[in-house]
Amino acid sequence: MADGTRSAATSLQGHASPMGEAGAVPLDHWLPGQHGSVVRVDRADAFGDRLAELGLTPGAPVTVLRKAPFCGPMLLRVRQFALSLRLGEAAAVRVAAAG
């Protein structure tokens, strides 16, 4: 690896990447049993507002309870209630795993 590439890669470790916060991944990539917290929601429309009303706000605890096969919906625990999201909707929610 060239020195310039190595230093650029090293400088990004532990910091927000150009794609967003370090360690934040789309919620639709998570599997049942994984838990963490919401980093951000990448929807600036009425549905994004609705997700916020349902508790999907930065810092909110999230656990994946179930994930239906064949690209079906996900069942989540958000704060203290259950919420079902389609995978396309869950893809807009960026989450970080619990430490």
State how far the Cα of 2 lies from the Cα of 22, in Å rounded to an integer: 23
- The domain of 73 spans 21-97
Do 31 and 69 form a contact (C-beta atoms < 8 A)?
A: no
**43 inside domain:** yes
Number of separate domains in the chain: 1
- Work out the mean pLDDT of the chain and round it to a whole number: 83
CATH number at residue 76: 2.30.30.90
Does pTM top 0.85 for this prediction?
A: no
For residue 69, what pLDDT is reported?
Answer: 92
Residue 44 has pLDDT above 70, yes or no: yes
Residue 12 has pLDDT above 70, yes or no: no
- Cβ neighbours for 11, distance < 8 A, ≥ 6 positions apart: none
